[in-house]
Structure 1
Amino acid sequence: MAPYQFIERPTPFNTKGGSTLPIFAVTPAHIETGTIDPIALDWARKSGYKAESGSLLLIPTAEGHLGGALFGLGTNPSEQPYITGRLARALPAGDWHIETAPLTANRLALGFGLGSYRFDRYKSEKSPAATLMIPRDADGADIKRQLAGVFLARDLINTPTNDMGPDQLEAAFRALAGHYKAEFSVITGDELLKQNFPLVHTVGRASADAPRLLELRWGKKGHRKVTLVGKGVCFDTGGLDIKPAASMLLMKKDMGGAANVMGLALMIMDAKLKVDLRVIVPVVENAISSNAFRPGDIYRSRKGLTVQIDNTDAEGRLILADALAYADEEEPDLLIDMATLTGAARVALGPDLPPFFTDDANLAHELTEASLETDDPIWRLPLYAGYEKDIRAKFADLTNAPAGGMAGSITAALFLKRFVSKTKSWAHFDIYGWAPSERPHSPGGGEAQAIRALFHHIRGSLR
């Protein structure tokens, strides 16, 4: 099968060689001390250029043509490690190279690449973009691999549900598997009941597009077992506990967990890491019809635990429960699940800092180190046992929506933990999957969160 369109994106890098225009990435100290190209320095001083963070000054030649650019890093470039992402959107179209910059080559190129992302699939007019020559001492293959994973996640999230429903998400997943020659399987519709995935079926049965469970296997048996699970709610109306209109505006992103684990899987497979990789994505649309599940219903999960439905808008943890129980049956060495699960996580940490939960202290430390090393922010929150009582139900083993609204991200994580018992190490990521505003490394919109840090950790754990 040909690679799916989300995998094939134009590179933001110039690989043709030939003539490129210079960029001088500078701090105010460079201007003050005169330690840059004399022509660029003269133009900067005549223009009153201060090299403020993210500022751009184009440099003309003596003949009046475009001769290069100055790019400001501010007084402390380390505070914005991917500031060069602004370059990708600010530079005129053409081929460029970095002449000088007090940044590592990898960080410089990755920042430019991340910032180059555009989602213009639905635009009638597409403007040309600047390209950058990757510095010789940068790891070009790894940078392109990370960008491919991030862009895949962003593209999937940004695509509206009319073009990214359960059928289309399956097509993207199937194409990803085919591109890397991975095994692919799918369980669809009523077959979910026959194969004991009752909660996935329950949540998705009201949609015109059947619920399904997608699975990918890649790698070699005997290698470290790494399993990724992603929440694939292609749209969430809230079900019979319907969301207000304003709360539905971004619900195309409720499959952000699936998008992110697919991006992470791409990185792992492209790098040919020595792992036994398994990716599981339950895919549904939480719709409303006469057969929608109801508040007060009680269902038995794959694991055998019964769940009382106290809010149909807490559907993500239901489909994850079956998927995690399924993943746990093979006793993986590392199990990661990612989901756009709770608004409580955003209230606690905002949109840019996803919390993660694990009771493995060593894993928590290693993930935090990986986050710092990659500037891919995450923050550990506790699986506080004192809140276990809140996930108990009056008439069933568990409730999907504890009363009171306190510690919502923690109680959701505790709910999921009940379905993981054999895995050696497990971590749950409650991501937002969206950048509300433009940042140096992102124009805003669908976002990959934590997957660069996770890739760094998984790769490092194999050495």
Structure 2
Amino acid sequence: MTVALAPAGTDAVPLHVLGTEDVALWAGQQSDRIRTWVEASGFKGGIGAVLMIPDANGHPEAALVGYGTPATRRRDRFALAAALPKLAKGTYRIEGGIDEDHLEQEALGWLLACYNFDRYRENSVERPSLVVPDRVDAARVSVLAEAEFLTRDLINTPASDMGPEELETAARALADKHKAKITVITGEALLKNNFPMIHAVGRASDRAPRLIDMSWGKRGPKVTLVGKGVCFDTGGLNIKPGSSMGLMKKDMGGAANVLGLAHMIMASGLEVRLRVLIPAVENSVSGNSFRPQDILTSRKGLTVEINNTDAEGRLVLADALTLGAEDTPDLIVSMATLTGAARVAVGPDLAPYYTDDDVVATSLDLSARRMADPVWRMPFHDPYETMIEPGIADLDNAPKGGFAGSITAALFLRRFVTEDDRYIHFDIYGWQPTAAPGRPKGGALQGARALFDSLPVLLDL
């Protein structure tokens, strides 16, 4: 979905953004007609409040949008976007009320609020458009919104239409758009090419597992993105209850997020050598499903005891991370809807991430605030390494006890990169459970904008 802000100079209705403390002052500076209209309306400037001001002929002369207080704005990532459903159709131009540091964020929120998933029914709603504010890079904001829309579309599509083959098709479409190279290893060829754990997890499905490998760029640092592409997760033989299986179409959210991030990088022409690796599988139940107590040998040669077939994401990521590390990238990132423990720890809104690099953490945290894309650093806690060592094999895919589940999963993945690799792992949710301004219920991009914004610092571009 292509998105764009209206260009500067477009005829537009003035949009006055007023905090609760600004309403009386602004109204006092207007004509008697407008002041009386504002006072009679009861407009108080709360977030999401809208007041259209008509001219003498009943046409929109201006619009007021509530911006709340600093305290209430901290609760709404895109406060301006809360007004969109109530604004009359048309094009608007912001007339003050938003400080320069937040203009890009609010313009992005406006675009994100225009998203509509209408693949299965005609439910499109015409949203008002916004003239690009001064000092906002319209092209950059549009790219950020396009990336989010791509990610949302992929996650929102049910598994019946978004299996491994369809995920490959989406990756090929993105590669074609940006003239990137792409190769795919499918089915039994995974074994011949030494991706045994990707094959083991996906072999029970009649939708063949595959490894998608996309590359772009000829100069600059090497950046490798690895995204979990479990297109549906039954849990395998350790089958999930129905209540836990209901949202498993989003278990390829890591893949959707790295494709969104890849779009940002390529569309912006960032001077890097980008590689995107997606192990795409369905974790199904069949006679040839991998089993509890099986021991798998990974691409890296490490053996893994399977103590829960529902801890499959880390298995497919392990083989892909090993491949990525073989290319000695300057930065390697994994993104995955990996553990319920992460949701218990930080809820659905924060994207927890792991890194041993304090420079990475500082840069990511600053970018997260700037990009309205909240993240939270979690520890690679070395003393927990013993929890993923079962004794019978090198690693345990599902340590007993239930403690520190997100941390032990991250430690498991770290075993498949080298000590010299600059590695970041995101344990995302990939889903917005309750609609919020600029963030409709459904698939969500998490952590990718923050990472994109931090790349120039991390890679000295």
TM category, shorter: over 0.9
Q: Distance in 2 between matches of 1:88 and 1:175?
A: 31
SS of 1:318's equivalent? Answer: helix
Q: Distance in 2 between matches of 1:24 and 1:40?
A: 13
Q: 1:236 corresponds to which residue?
A: 233
Report if the CA contact (8 A) 2:353-2:424 is conserved: yes
Matched, 1:108 2:110: no
Question: Take 1:46 and 1:330, find their aligned partners in 2: how far apart are those partners?
Answer: 67
State whether residues 40 and 70 of structure 1, in contact with CA within 8 Å, keep that contact through their aligned partners in structure 2.
Answer: no
40 and 147 in structure 1: CA distance in 2 versus 1, 3 angstrom threshold: farther
Contact 1:333–1:423, Cα closer than 8 Å, also in 2: no
Aligned partner of 1:90 among 74, 86, 91: 86
Alignment partners' CA distance in 1, 2:48 and 2:30: 19
Match of 2:62 in 1: 68
CA contact (8 A) 2:52 2:62 kept: yes
Q: Is the 8 A contact 1:331 1:422 kept in 2?
A: no
The aligned residue for residue 392 of structure 2 is: 395
Aligned-partner Cα distance in 2 for 1:385–1:413: 11
**1:123 and 2:117 equivalent?**
no
Match of 1:43 among 8, 20, 37: 37
Aligned-pair distance for 1:14?
Answer: 3.0
Of the structure 1 ranges 159-168 and 335-344, higher mean CA displacement relative to structure 2 is found in 159-168
Distance 2:361 2:425 in 1: 11
Structure-2 residue corresponding to 1:58: 52
The answer to whether the aligner puts 1:264 opposite 2:261 as a matched pair is yes
* Structure 2 residue aligned with 1:324: 321
By how many angstroms is 1:423 displaced?
A: 4.6
Alpha-carbon distance in structure 1 between the residues aligned to 2:90 and 2:222 = 45
Tell me if structure 1 keeps the 8 A contact 2:388–2:408: yes
Q: Deviations over 1:403-453 (max 9, x none)?
A: 011000000001001111155310100000001111112112110001110
Q: Structure 1 317/333 Cα, relative in aligned 2: closer, same or farther at 3 Å?
A: same
Q: Which residue of 2 aligns with 1:380?
A: 377
AA aligned to 1:138 is: V
Aligned to 2:415: 418
Q: State whether residues 85 and 442 of structure 1, in contact with CA within 8 Å, keep that contact through their aligned partners in structure 2.
A: no
Q: Does 1:24 align with 2:21?
A: no
Q: 1:40: how far off?
A: 4.7
Of the three residues 440, 453, 457, the one matched with 2:454 is 457
Moved more, 422-431 or 256-265: 422-431
Asked whether the equivalents of residues 260 and 338 of structure 1 are also in contact (C-alpha less than 8 Å), the reply is yes
Q: Distance in 2 between matches of 1:57 and 1:126?
A: 24
Task: Write the letter of the residue equivalent to 2:340.
Answer: G
Q: In structure 2, do the counterparts of structure 1 residues 125 and 78 end up closer, same or farther at CA, with 3 Å as the change threshold?
A: closer
Indicate the residue corresponding to 2:218 in structure 1. Answer: 220
Counterpart residue identity of residue 14, structure 1: A
Out of 424, 427, 432, the position equivalent to 1:430 is 427
Letter in structure 2 aligned against 1:24:
H
Structure-1 residue corresponding to 2:337: 340
Deviations 1:344-373 (A, max 9, x none): 000000000111111122212221222122
Could you report, residue by residue, the CA deviation over 1:193-239 in whole angstroms, capped at 9, with x for unpaired residues? 00000000000011111000001111114x11111000000000101
Distance 1:81 1:186 in 2: 38
| Distance in 1 separating the partners of 2:166 and 2:77 | 35
CA distance 1:409–1:126, change in 2 (3 Å) = same
How far, CA to CA, are the matches of 1:351 and 1:397 in structure 2? 32
Unaligned runs of 5+ in 1: 1-7
RMSD: 1.7
Q: Does 2:242 match 1:245?
A: yes
Shift of 1:37: 4.9
**Alignment partner for residue 439 of structure 2, among 439, 442, 454?**
442
Q: Tell me the CA shift for residue 69 of structure 1.
A: 2.0
Deviations 1:234-271 (A, max 9, x none): 00010111101111111000000000000001000111
Do the aligned residues in 1 keep the contact of 2:8 with 2:132 (CA within 8 Å)? Answer: no
Aligned to 1:3: none
Check conservation: 2:221, 2:273, Cα contact below 8 A.
yes
Q: Residue type matched to 2:179 in 1?
A: K
Do the aligned partners of 1:261 and 1:338 also contact (CA within 8 Å) in 2? yes
Q: What TM-score does the superposition give when structure 2 sets the normalisation length?
A: 0.95
Using a 3 Å threshold, how does the CA distance of structure 1 residues 334 and 308 change in structure 2: closer, same or farther? same
Are the aligned partners of 1:202 and 1:293 in contact in 2 as well (CA < 8 Å)?
yes
What is the Cα deviation at residue 100 of structure 1? 2.8
CA distance in 2, matches of 1:271, 1:78: 30
Q: 1:125 to 1:387 in 2, by over 3 A?
A: closer
SS at match of 1:192: helix
The superposition leaves residues 369-412 of structure 1 with CA deviations (integer Å, 9 ceiling, x where unpaired) of: 22122221111111111111110123211111000110000000
More displaced 10-residue stretch of structure 1: 402-411 or 63-72: 63-72
- Secondary structure of 2:453's match? helix
**Distance in 1, Cα, partners of 2:423 & 2:200:** 25
